[in-house]
C-alpha cells in the first residue's frame, strides 16, 4: 500500500482500515500521523498470527484441483441502494462506551442551499459540532456546560467524540459560525448518558456491606483482577465470532485427510489407493457387500467405493432374489502392498 492509495481513500475507509490495523487514534480524526501509522502497519511484513480476513478468503477460493464452481454470492435481489440523505437537518447522539460517544447528522436541501449561498461554497461553511455536558445544576440555570467545539467539513456526516466521562450526560449541537452572529445552531441532538465504568460510590443503608467483603465479591466475580476482564471478553468475542459467522466461514484447510503433506521435507510424494466395487443384478434383488446391505440403483447396478489400505481383503458380494429362493455370492480378494524407494543424486 502506498501513500497514494491512502490519499484516494475516503475518511470512513481510512477509519475502517485504522480499525482493522488496530490503530487507536483516540480522536476520530484522520491526520498525517494516522496515515503514517496505517502505512507502517500495512507495509510491515505479514504478522505470523493468522488473520481472520485471510483465513476467510481461504475458504472462498476453491482448491486448485476443484473444478470452477458457480459464484455463491447473495444473488440478484432488490435494488437496495439506501438514500444518502433523508433531507432533514438533524443530529443524533449515541453511546459507544464510558469514554466515547458517536454522533451522526444530516442536512436538508434547504439548509445546504441556504448555507451555500451565504458562504458562496459548501466546502467553506465553518461547520462545527459543539459538545455540552448536561447536568442538573446547569439545566436549572438554563445553560448546559459547553465543553469544546469540533470543526467539521461539509462532507463529514458522523464523528466519534472522546468525552472521557463515565456516568455523565452529553448533548451536541450542529451549527456554524456566522460572520456577525457567532455560533448558529442548525440542529440539537438528544441527550445521552455514558455508562459507569466503576463501582458506584452510593451505598444503600439497608444493604450495607463491609468494604473488605465487597472487594472479595468483586474479585470473585472475575472482574477485579488486573487484565482479567478484557482477556476474558476478548476470548468470548472470538468464540462468539466463530459461532455467529456459522460454519465454513473461518476454515483452516491445512492438509487433505490422507497423508498430510510434510512441508519440512523438500521434495515429496503421496500415494493412496481407493477401491471401487461395482456390478449389477436384478433391480428387485437384495444385495450385501461384506454383510452390509447396499442400495441398488433403479437399473439394478451398484457402486461402492472405499479406502484401500495395505493388506489382503475378501469382499463377499451377495445377491438374493426377490423371492428369496436364489442366492449368488461373488467374492473378489484384493491385496495391496506398498513399497517405498527414494534416491537422491549426490552433490
Partner 1 sequence: MKKGYLSLVLHAHLPFVRHPEYEHFLEEQWFFEAMTETYIPLLRVFETLAGEGVPFRLTMSLTPPLLSMMSDPLLQERYSRHLRRLLELAEKEVERTRWLPEFHHSALMYRENFAFARWFYEEKYGRDIITPFRRLQQQGHLELITCGATHGYFPLMLQREAVRAQVRIAVEQYTRFFGRPPRGIWLPECGYHPGDDEILREYGIRFFFTDAHGILHASPRPKYGVFAPVYCPSGVAAFGRDLESSKQVWSAQEGYPGDPYYREFYRDIGYDLEYDYIRPYIHPSGLRVHTGIKYHRITGKTADKQPYIPWIARERAAVHAGNFMFNREKQIEYLVEIMDRRPIVVSPYDAELFGHWWFEGPQWLDFLLRKIAYDQQNIELISPIDYLAIYPRNQVSTPSESSWGYKGYNEVWLEGSNDWIYRHLHQAAERMTELANRFPEADGLLRRALNQSARELLLAQSSDWAFIMKTGTMVEYAVKRTRDHISRFLRLYDQINANAIDEFYLSDLEYKDNIFPDLDYRVYQTTLPARLRQAIPAMA
Footprint on residues 269-308 left by partner 1 (CB under 8 A): 274, 289-290, 292, 304-308
Shorter beta-carbon distance to partner 1: residue 146 or 225:
225
Is residue 48 near partner 1 by the rule CB under 8 A? no
Shorter beta-carbon distance to partner 1: residue 178 or 240:
240
Shorter beta-carbon distance to partner 1: residue 275 or 321:
275
Q: Which stretch binds partner 1 (CB under 8 A): 10-18, 36-44, 178-186, 320-328?
A: 10-18
- Looking at the DSSP bridge assignments, the partners of residue 286 are 320
- Looking at the DSSP bridge assignments, the partners of residue 170 are 133, 192
Is residue 213 near partner 1 by the rule CB under 8 A? yes
Nearest to 277, CA basis, from 298, 308, 299: 308
CB of 137 to partner 1, least distance (A): 19
CB of 262 to partner 1, least distance (A): 9
What is the dihedral sign for C-alpha 103, 109, 110, 113?
positive
What secondary structure letter does DSSP report for 270?
-
Pairing of strands 182-188, 286-289: unpaired
The span from the CA of 34 to the CA of 18, in Å, is 8
Q: Which stretch binds partner 1 (CB under 8 A): 15-23, 33-41, 107-115, 134-142?
A: 15-23
Shorter beta-carbon distance to partner 1: residue 298 or 311:
311
The span from the CA of 12 to the CA of 18, in Å, is 9
Shorter beta-carbon distance to partner 1: residue 35 or 95:
95
Q: Compute how many residues bind partner 1; rule: CB under 8 A.
A: 110
CB 271 within 8 A of CB 308: no
* Contact positions with partner 1 (CB under 8 A) in 109-138: none
- Please select the residue that binds partner 1; options are 239, 283, 328, 332, rule is CB under 8 A: 239
Q: Determine the length of the chain.
A: 347
Phi first, then psi: give them for residue 149, nearest 5 degrees.
-110, 150
Is residue 245 near partner 1 by the rule CB under 8 A? yes
CB of 148 to partner 1, least distance (A): 21
Q: Which stretch binds partner 1 (CB under 8 A): 49-57, 113-121, 172-180, 279-287?
A: 49-57
CB of 266 to partner 1, least distance (A): 18
CB 128 within 8 A of CB 147: no
Shorter beta-carbon distance to partner 1: residue 104 or 119:
104
Site string for partner 1, 56-85 (x = CB under 8 A): x--x--xx-xxxxxxxxxxx-xxxxxxx--
- Please select the residue that binds partner 1; options are 143, 207, 271, 346, rule is CB under 8 A: 207
Other CB atoms within 10 Å distance of the CB of residue 340: 6
Q: Which stretch binds partner 1 (CB under 8 A): 90-98, 121-129, 174-182, 280-288?
A: 90-98
Alpha-carbon distance values, 320 to 206, 280, 314 (Å) = 84, 12, 19
Alpha helices in 163-294 (DSSP H): 211-220, 228-244
* Contact positions with partner 1 (CB under 8 A) in 141-170: 158
Please calculate the CA angle 135-104-1 and round it to the nearest 5 degrees.
Answer: 125
Alpha-carbon distance values, 288 to 106, 196, 295, 317, 335 (Å) = 73, 70, 9, 6, 21
Q: Which stretch binds partner 1 (CB under 8 A): 38-46, 146-154, 172-180, 201-209?
A: 201-209
Shorter beta-carbon distance to partner 1: residue 26 or 120:
26
Contacts of 241 (CB under 8 A, 6+ apart): 52
Shorter beta-carbon distance to partner 1: residue 49 or 345:
49
Amino acid at each position: 500500500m502506498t501513500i497514494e492509495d491512502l490519499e484516494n481513500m475516503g475518511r470512513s475507509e481510512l477509519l475502517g482500515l485504522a480499525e482493522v490495523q488496530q490503530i487507536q487514534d483516540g480522536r476520530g480524526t484522520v491526520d498525517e500521523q494516522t496515515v503514517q501509522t496505517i502505512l507502517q502497519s500495512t507495509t510491515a511484513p505479514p504478522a505470523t498470527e493468522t488473520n481472520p480476513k485471510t483465513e476467510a478468503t481461504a475458504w472462498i477460493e476453491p482448491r486448485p484441483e476443484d473444478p470452477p464452481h458457480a459464484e455463491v454470492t447473495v444473488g440478484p435481489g432488490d435494488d437496495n441502494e439506501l438514500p444518502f440523505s433523508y433531507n432533514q437537518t438533524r443530529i443524533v447522539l449515541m453511546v459507544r462506551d464510558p469514554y466515547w460517544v458517536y454522533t451522526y447528522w444530516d442536512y436538508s436541501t434547504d439548509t445546504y442551499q441556504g448555507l451555500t449561498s451565504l458562504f458562496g461554497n459548501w466546502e467553506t461553511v465553518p461547520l462545527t459540532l459543539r459538545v455540552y455536558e448536561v447536568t442538573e445544576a446547569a439545566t436549572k440555570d438554563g445553560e448546559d456546560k459547553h465543553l469544546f467545539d469540533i470543526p467539521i467539513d461539509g462532507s463529514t456526516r458522523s464523528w466519534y467524540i472522546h468525552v472521557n466521562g463515565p456516568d455523565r450526560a452529553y448533548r451536541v449541537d450542529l451549527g456554524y459560525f456566522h460572520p456577525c452572529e457567532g455560533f448558529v445552531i442548525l440542529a440539537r441532538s438528544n441527550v445521552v448518558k455514558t455508562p459507569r465504568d466503576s463501582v458506584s460510590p452510593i451505598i444503600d443503608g439497608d444493604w450495607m456491606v463491609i468494604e473488605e467483603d465487597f472487594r472479595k465479591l468483586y474479585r470473585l466475580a472475575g472482574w477485579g483482577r488486573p487484565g482479567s476482564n478484557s482477556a476474558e471478553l476478548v476470548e468470548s468475542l472470538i468464540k462468539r465470532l466463530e459461532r455467529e459467522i456459522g460454519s465454513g466461514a473461518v476454515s483452516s484447510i491445512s492438509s487433505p485427510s490422507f497423508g498430510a503433506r510434510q512441508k519440512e521435507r523438500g521434495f515429496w510424494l503421496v500415494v493412496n489407493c481407493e477401491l471401487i466395487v461395482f456390478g449389477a443384478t436384478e433391480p428387485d434383488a437384495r444385495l450385501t457387500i461384506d454383510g452390509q446391505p447396499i442400495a441398488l440403483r433403479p437399473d439394478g447396478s451398484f457402486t461402492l467405493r472405499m479406502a484401500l489400505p495395505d493388506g489382503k481383503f475378501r469382499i463377499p458380494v451377495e445377491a438374493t432374489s426377490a423371492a428369496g429362493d436364489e442366492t449368488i455370492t461373488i467374492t473378489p480378494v484384493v491385496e495391496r502392498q506398498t513399497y517405498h524407494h527414494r534416491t537422491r543424486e549426490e552433490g
